[in-house]
Chain A
Amino acid sequence: MRLRSTSPLAIPAVILVLIAAVIPLIVLSASVISGADVISIWSKSSVQRALIFSTWQALLSTALTICLGLPTTWFLSRYEFFGRQVFMALVTVTFVLPTVAVGAAFLALLPKGLHHSTMAIVVAHAFFNISIVVRTVGPRWNSVDDRLIDCAQTLGASPLHIWQSIILPLGKSAILSSAALTFFMCFTSYGIISILGGPGLATLDIEIYRRAVQLGDLSGAAILAVAQMLLIVTIFFIWSRGRTSELISFRSRTLNPQKLPLGPKCFLFGVAAFFVAPVLALIASSMRTGRSWSLTGWRVLLGIQNQKGIEIDTWQAMQTSAKYALIAAGIALPTGIAATYAFSHRQSANRQLSTLTILPLAISPVVIGLAILITYDFDPFDFRSSWLLIPIIHSAIALPFVIRAALPVVQGIPNDLRLAAATLGAGSWRRLLTVEIPLLRPAISTGFAFSLAMSLGEFGATSFLTRRESRTLPIIIAGLFGRAGEIPRATGMAASVVLILVTAMIVLSVDRKSYS
């Protein structure tokens, strides 16, 4: 017996996704079909270069991410060791840090010769995406029974052979889906490339932005966006298949209390240093101008010192970022939690709706930004100038995070608990306030924190829709790094420190259980 029908609860989420993604993407696709010269755009050398570079750097980034991510995942999913929780927190935080700020952090860390290089881009991508491997493959490997490995040993398998024949095959579908997702993230990378890219290092997303905003070639940008969308949908399809076509059932197991050997310890220490070093370098770099220590960057950022050529209103940008983040989280959280109740019932309609709500995350933010620009620019839907559009898009991008955080919790609440409360005389509102919400609290705080973090760091879609008077911190940072000179650079570093620390604190304030 169910207390009430749950499907209507998905309606707000569906409307949000329709407004922020589905309708704009349909309009974008229609604009391409209706007349644009689909073929000629591909003959342009800048487009060909962007396509080749997008693919090439995404493949390299995926390879490095998998190489670093798989051993990290194995040790984290099998061993209990001192500092494991801190490591898991680092892994969680890196994934949601603002891309432009992380780009700045790698500028601070790497020697000048590598600043605008493929290597810098690839390394920064690995920084973000190791988290995907740990999150996707970790639960699978955690559930591999120790005795299965013992058994392989008794059959004569060496440690290398056990990796080849047991550990990798058992994680295969998860490894493939994490690789597909990493490739997708790197292929559609925009914030990182905006900071670490340069001549000859432009991805398709950068080319879409350049065509739409700098060259005014909206139809060319639209063709590239639709092509990219089709490619991403294909990759996404492979990814989601990997997630659902699991034939073997797995049980999670307790971690191995054995001591982590020295080699793995050193490896994990190296990965932790890889996560922390860019941020430390960023902090140091924000306090330097040229070759000397100086707080000029911070003074300019905080408006204590005026600098010719840098007209930024940091407080206004912080207020704007905070306002957008709070509104986005305010929309995403109730919408996402309500949808989670609908999706917790395994009906095929719910499954399809659940897939639909991942769409804003699955499509590149640049494509969404462009699609919105094209869609909402005529009466009576001329919302482009409305500032509310940006937090609405941010909330749609945050929606899948809220649903993912809440789904296991909602599914874990036994229906009998609700029935018990009902038999004790609790009406639906009282049940909601006294049973559901207290039990959902960890998911609510995780969803809220991730929505805030997502919105604070969002750069791709925002860069299309931002207005001079309502610029967010990532837009300000990208602008500062686009200027020549040491002081804009130091100011950009300082702004990146603020953004990274605020985001990290928000995510770390979440209940520890959600990332341990």
Chain B
Amino acid sequence: MSLTITDVSFSYGERSILHDFSLEVAAGTTTAVVAPSGSGKSTLLRIVAGLLKPTTGTIILDDRNITNTPTHQRSVGMVFQDNQLFPHLNVHDNVAFGLKVSKMNQRDINSRCHELLELVGLGDVMRQSVATLSGGESKRVALARALAPSPRVLLLDEPLTGLDQELHDRLAQDLHQILHSTDTTALLVTHDLTEAEIISDSIHHLQ
């Protein structure tokens, strides 16, 4: 699955956030967009996810123009900066959320959740409330949840922000490994060049 962003622009009223931005993410690879805060990185991801509509430009996912496709029909997964775990669901049900939407049967849901939580190293917290998780565990659950429905592209919005250095470095390594082992096409946005270098295969600087 490849992702092609062509000449995407976006503005809030008079203020231009993105101007003719283009990028190609090859199938099965991770591309990082590195830029300082306030430069429109998150806006870019929200446009790819369909949460914002670009003023101009197109988003092509595997030869299919999805620019006007509603978010829930795009098959994009997203890891939000502050995880956004559903507070009323436990760890298992958070990961199962996207699978239930796709009407997978319960046995398959359970085995997929188990597989994903094992993959992110959290096999033993399945029934725990998300309120009890540490910062690092929450990030892992958010990643497992986004990967569970096997999205065609995974979007990562500053996924390691707010972690202490040691945990940050360890998770960055894990993330790189997980994305490769699952052959996921991913677009990462971050302000941290080192993080981008560890996780991604190619880096794009956004001015």
Contacts and interface: CB of A to CB of B under 8 A. Distances in A.
A154 B84 CA distance: 12
Given A165-B97, A248-B131, A155 B84 contact: no
Majority-rule SS of A interface residues: helix
Contacts of A161: 72, 101
A155 B51 contact: no
Interface stretch (B75-83, B111-119, B162-170, B192-200): B75-83
A170 B46 CA distance: 24
Contacts of A152: 86, 97
A151 B84 CA distance: 7
Nearest to B151: A154
B172 interface: no
Interface in A140-196: 145, 147-148, 150-159, 161, 165-166, 169-170, 172
A159 B71 CA distance: 10
Contacts of A170: 87-88
A157 B73 CA distance: 8
B207 interface: no
B84 A145 contact: yes
A161 B103 CA distance: 12
Interface string B29-55: 000000000000000001001110000
A195 B61 CA distance: 64
Contacts of B50: 153
A247 interface: yes
Nearest to A151: B84
B98 interface: yes
Contact of A155 (B70, B87, B97): B97
Given A148-B84, A165-B97, A169-B88, A154 B102 contact: no
A483 to B, nearest CB: 55
Interface in B55-111: 70-78, 80, 82, 84, 86-88, 97-98, 100-102
Contact of B71 (A148, A153, A172): A153
A78 to B, nearest CB: 16
Given A150-B49, A150-B51, A161-B101, A155 B80 contact: no
B88 A157 contact: no
Interface in A406-422: none
A170 B86 CA distance: 9
B53 to A, nearest CB: 12
A302 B131 CA distance: 64
Contacts of B191: none
A107 B49 CA distance: 53
A154 B69 CA distance: 12
B78 A151 contact: yes
A227 to B, nearest CB: 37
Interface of B: 46, 49-51, 70-78, 80, 82, 84, 86-88, 97-98, 100-102, 129, 131, 145-146, 149, 151, 155
5 contacts: A150-B49, A151-B78, A151-B80, A154-B78, A247-B129
Given A150-B80, A154-B71, A155-B77, 14 more contacts: A151-B80, A151-B86, A153-B50, A154-B77, A154-B155, A155-B101, A155-B145, A156-B73, A156-B101, A156-B149, A157-B72, A158-B101, A169-B88, A170-B87
Interface of A: 145, 147-148, 150-159, 161, 165-166, 169-170, 172, 247-248
